Structure 1
Amino acid sequence: MFDKRRIITIANQKGGVGKTTTAINLATALAAIGQRVLIVDLDPQGNASTGLGIDRRNRKISSYDILVGEASVGGAAVETAVPNLSIVPSTMDLLGFEMEISQASDRAFRLKKALVSEGAEKFDYILLDCPPSFNLLTMNAMAAADSVLVPLQCEFFALEGLSQLLETVDQVRRTVNPKLDIQGIVLTMFDARNNLAQQVVNDVRTYLGEKVYQTLIPRNVRVSEAPSYGKPAILYDLKCAGSQAYLQLASEVIQRERMRKVAA
């Protein structure tokens, strides 16, 4: 229905790889260049919501409500302090979602249905921030998405976890979403002083080639501090290395979208 927008799932079944940080700061960078962006927080921990300054007491309507059909995207989306950026916040109610609808025939497509509800049409990009596991919430995200963006930490076990995730994407493509594609691999927490980190970068680029973004997201104290202030790093400290890297990443994402449209 809304063919001009892009729905991107940000996923990695491994925790601590910078997934939510990437969702928040990529969304902020896209919003800063004039794109209308929505984050849907699908993690019961609600870190994306907290990182954008949405107090738990103000999460009256959440992603759980849109998944069970009790609210539209327009009714659930909350504007953030970032112009052009809204979020459908998360609550702990999501913990019961899988059990509640496990027998429903449309259990993998609840989010896809929600993203054509009132209010969803106004966004250029919808970023889906998934929990660090492959469960029904992640399945819903992949079933609804055009593509998957994978944050990958520059560490020893990175390639092993990546292989598992790529197998998951293939499984989703075969079963519920044949159009699902890999948007790109984002290498996070890069430390130039660490020889192992550079080896991981080289290995991933050899393995996946152009699917890997050129931008490397560095380990950065300011990026780590920002969520505790309820701000994206780009607002907290625009000039820090992490913020600059996420701005570069947003430019790459936009460029890839342009190339995709030309190819289509």
Structure 2
Amino acid sequence: MFAVLVLGVCSLKGGVGKTSVTLGLASAALEHGLRTLVIDLDPQGDATMALGARAAGDGDVAAVLDAPSAETVAAATVLSSWADDGLDVLAGSERSALHDRLDDEDVDRLRFALSWVSGYDLVLVDCPPSLGGLTRTGLTACDRAVVVTEPGLFAVMAVGRAMRTIDELRRGPAPQLQPLGIAVNRVRARSVEQAFRLEELRTLYGPLVLSPFVPERAALQQAQGAAQPVHAWPGAAAAELATTFEGLLERALRAPKR
């Protein structure tokens, strides 16, 4: 085994900013000099694109899941354009959707592939926004899982499904997996409806609701659209977001490592 935290970022509802949270954590890790690998399991490949990475030939996460080995992992791992060193990407691919089956027959393939990964302080796994084989495969490889939500009715309902999935995996193929908590994204300070949903989350999940909340700021989308870390983006809003992700990263790093 290796002394690194493998952190899954998941949501069972699309559009809540799961990949944005993954990228924010990657930005904070880069800022603090943590060697980080981002594994893009989402067939949309948004994390790979935002990190300025591009798969080389047939080297991508789908090839790793097809045949986990030192060779396929090395071929799929590319440097992010965010930095000259220290931030790598296991490149995403739409072909990974072929592994999005509901059976658990091959759910340990990514965990097996990670046995050839070394030299990192942190591994972030960006899971698809669905409850399929890819999400289960991603979480099975993880030590901790962050469930991303936003303060809306349907997003809050999806949190319960995600937490049940984590518990099922912990009782089955991933006994090491624990929920780190719930990251609340796109929070607007003056929204009465959001205040109600935030209180609902606190009532249901107590200390599993992580702080600080991620505020809704256009700077996050602007930085990602430019394939830049939020820590490098100008302005007070970006600085606020950078501090927020540093707080979430600090909480994650307090989790026991392998």
Q: Give the TM-score of the pair, scaled to structure 1.
A: 0.87
Q: Once the two structures are superposed, what CA deviation does each residue of 1:66-124 show, in whole Å capped at 9, x if it has no partner? A: 1122644333211112332111111121122346xx8894x01110011111xx11111
Please show how residues 10-89 of structure 1 align to structure 2 within 5 Å: 10-55=9-54, 58=56, 60-69=58-67, 71-83=71-83, 84-89=86-91
Change (3 A) 1:108 1:23: same
Task: State the secondary structure of the residue aligned to 1:175.
Answer: coil
Task: State the secondary structure of the residue aligned to 2:175.
Answer: coil
**1:92 matched to which residue of 2?**
94
1:253 shift after superposition = 3.0
Change (3 A) 1:227 1:164: same
Task: State the secondary structure of the residue aligned to 1:157.
Answer: helix
How large is the RMSD of aligned CA atoms in angstroms? 2.4
* Matching residue's letter, 1:15: G
In structure 2, how many angstroms separate the alpha carbons of the residues matched to 1:256 and 1:96? 31
In structure 1, how many angstroms separate the alpha carbons of the residues matched to 2:158 and 2:9? 15
Match of 1:149 among 146, 149, 160: 146
Q: Is the 8 A contact 1:11 1:151 kept in 2?
A: yes
1:155 shift after superposition = 1.3
Change (3 A) 1:219 1:114: same
State yes or no: 1:241 paired with 2:237.
yes
Range with bigger deviation, 240-249 or 156-165: 240-249
Unaligned runs of 5+ in 1: none
In structure 2, how many angstroms separate the alpha carbons of the residues matched to 1:142 and 1:88? 16
Structure 1 runs (4+) deviating above 4 angstroms are 102-105
Q: Is the 8 A contact 1:217 1:242 kept in 2?
A: no
* Matching residue's letter, 2:75: G
1:65 shift after superposition = 1.4
What fraction of aligned residue pairs are identical, expressed as a percent?
A: 26
In structure 1, how many angstroms separate the alpha carbons of the residues matched to 2:127 and 2:43? 9
Q: Is the 8 A contact 2:26 2:38 kept in 1?
A: yes
* Matching residue's letter, 2:76: A
1:10 shift after superposition = 0.4
In structure 1, how many angstroms separate the alpha carbons of the residues matched to 2:107 and 2:252? 28
Match of 1:158 among 147, 155, 173: 155
Q: Is the 8 A contact 1:78 1:88 kept in 2?
A: yes
Q: Is the 8 A contact 1:152 1:188 kept in 2?
A: yes
The count of residues paired between Structure 1 and Structure 2 equals: 254
Unaligned runs of 5+ in 2: none
**2:201 matched to which residue of 1?**
204
Q: Once the two structures are superposed, what CA deviation does each residue of 1:28-85 show, in whole Å capped at 9, x if it has no partner? A: 11121011111000011100011112246x5641111111226443332111123321
**1:123 matched to which residue of 2?**
120
Q: Is the 8 A contact 2:108 2:141 kept in 1?
A: yes
